[in-house]
Amino acid sequence: MMKEINRMCMEFPAKSCNEGFARSVVAAFAAQIDPRFDELSDLRTAVSEGVTNAIVHAYNGIQGEQNMVKLECVLYKNTIEITITDFGKGIEDVMQAREPLYTTAPEMERSGMGFTIMETFTDDLFVESKPGAGTKVFLRKVFTVNA
C-alpha cells in the first residue's frame, strides 16, 4: 500500500468559471511532488474535462449556487488520485457515455470526447453513476518525479 503524503477536498458551485480554478488547484497540489511539466499538463487537461463534464451534463447546463461539484485529491510519492463528484442527474449508461464521440448535448456543440480525453491523459479512470443520484469520476495519474 502506498503511503499518503497529503490530501485535500473542496466543493464549489457548478459554474463554468470554476473549471479553470479546479484545474489550477489540482496542478498546484500535485506540484508538491515535483512532477514533469508534460505530465502535470496532462493532469490539468484530464481534470478540466472531468469538471467540465460535471458542470455541463450533471445539472442540464443549469449553473448556480445550489448545484455543487466536489473535488478530492490524495497525493502519494509519485501518484495522485482525484475524485470528481457531482450530485446531478447521473448517467443512464456509463459504457455508452464512455464511447468516443457520444454526447448527450449535441446542441451545445459538445464533442463527446470527455471520458476519452480523461482516459488518455491519466493511468486509471473509473466512473460510478446512478440515475438521479449523481456521478463520481475517479482518476489516477502516476508521475515520473523529477530527481
DSSP per-residue string spanning 121-145: HSSEEEEEE-TTS-EEEEEEEE--B
| Residue 74 to residue 72: CA distance in whole angstroms | 7
Q: Is residue 71 part of a domain?
A: yes
pLDDT tens-digit map of 69-112? 999 999 999 999 999 999 999 988 888 777 766 666 555 555 56
Q: Is residue 130 part of a domain?
A: yes
Instruction: Point out the catalytic residue in the list 19, 39, 49, 81.
Output: 49
Q: Is residue 26 part of a domain?
A: yes
Active site residue 110: yes
Active site residue 78: no
Q: Is residue 147 part of a domain?
A: no
Instruction: Point out the catalytic residue in the list 53, 67, 81, 119.
Output: 53
Report the CATH number at residue 109. 3.30.565.10
- Compute CA 99 distance to the chain's CA centroid, rounded to the nearest angstrom: 17
Instruction: Point out the catalytic residue in the list 72, 78, 98, 110.
Output: 110
Could you tell me the sign of the dihedral formed by the alpha carbons of 117, 119, 122, 126, in that order?
positive
Whole domain around residue 60: which residue ranges? 6-142
Active site residue 7: no
Provide the residue-wise pLDDT of the chain in tens; the chain has 147 residues: 789 999 999 999 999 899 999 999 999 999 999 999 999 999 999 999 999 989 888 887 677 678 999 999 999 999 999 999 999 999 888 887 777 666 665 555 555 667 889 999 999 999 999 999 999 999 999 999 765
- The count of structural domains within the chain is 1
